[in-house]
Amino acid sequence: METLASFFDSYGALLAQGTWDTILMTVIATFFAYVIGIPLGVLCVLTSPKGLMPRRVLNMVLGWIINIGRSIPFIILLVALIPFTRFIVGTSLGVPGAIVPLVVSAAPFIARMVEQSIEEVDGGLVEAAQSFGANTWQIVYKVFLREAMPSLVRGFAIVFITILGYSAMAGTVGAGGLGDIAIRYGYQRYQDDVMIATVIILIVIVQIVQSACSYAARKMDKS
């Protein structure tokens, strides 16, 4: 117990700040990634050959953009976007410097996830909505997104946890958070206790998010 108390006296504040930075950059990046990813995913569905607004060229361009974004490893994207990140937020370090590459990396993944979730919606519901005179955007909101919501909620957990993992990688270039602590103390200074503590905190965050999303999705399935 004394050893544990001594550890928290030495590193408690550091780990608390690192946890806060990690959660902050993950939440903000997830929000903006969804702001970009949901419209992209919806457009992919609408402009597909069997969509409500078939646009072959636009659909192809969107598909290429999404696939290119998904094909670049995050650690490479992180470095490649440093000039762009500095232009957008004024720095490539700390929490602000991590958010831009996190959003750019996650948005294409979300777009594809939204597209697949919407494509699972029963086509009969779309036909029924059209027979009642619903326009395209009413179908998107009241049929596509509403019926796909349980799948989207389950996907949210995957997205959040993926961005959480990316945020740890961002620590390699000075983004802060638990990844930075694990690298500076656990790897460079060979302090295994700090490394283990960061891993435990990340596991707890993942379990909380996954459990909450699974519970919410089950409630939506029953309603």
Phi/psi at 47 (nearest 5 deg)? -95, 5
How many distinct structural domains can be found in the chain? 1
Identify whether the C-beta of residue 168 lies closer than 8 Å to the C-beta of residue 202. Answer: yes
Question: Rounded CA gap, 159 and 210, in Å?
Answer: 10
Write out the residue range of the structural domain in which residue 50 sits. Answer: 2-222
Sign of CA dihedral 145, 149, 154, 157: positive
82 Cβ contact partners less than 8 Å away, ≥ 6 residues apart: 92, 173
Tell me the C-alpha to C-alpha distance, in Å, between residue 132 and each of 90, 117, 125, 144. Answer: 51, 24, 11, 16
CATH number for the domain spanning 176: value is 1.10.3720.10
* Sequence-ordered alpha helix ranges (H) in the chain: 2-46, 56-71, 74-80, 82-89, 94-119, 123-131, 136-139, 146-147, 149-170, 177-181, 192-222
Identify whether the C-beta of residue 44 lies closer than 8 Å to the C-beta of residue 117. Answer: no
50 Cβ contact partners less than 8 Å away, ≥ 6 residues apart: none
Q: What string of pLDDT tens digits covers the 223 residues of the chain?
A: 557 778 878 878 889 999 999 999 999 999 999 999 999 999 999 999 888 888 899 999 999 999 998 898 888 888 888 899 888 888 888 888 889 999 999 999 999 999 998 888 888 888 888 888 888 888 888 888 888 888 888 889 999 999 998 888 887 777 778 888 888 887 778 788 888 899 999 999 999 999 999 888 888 876 6
Predicted TM-score (pTM) of this structure? 0.88
Question: Rounded CA gap, 26 and 177, in Å?
Answer: 10
- Residue-level pLDDT at 95: 84
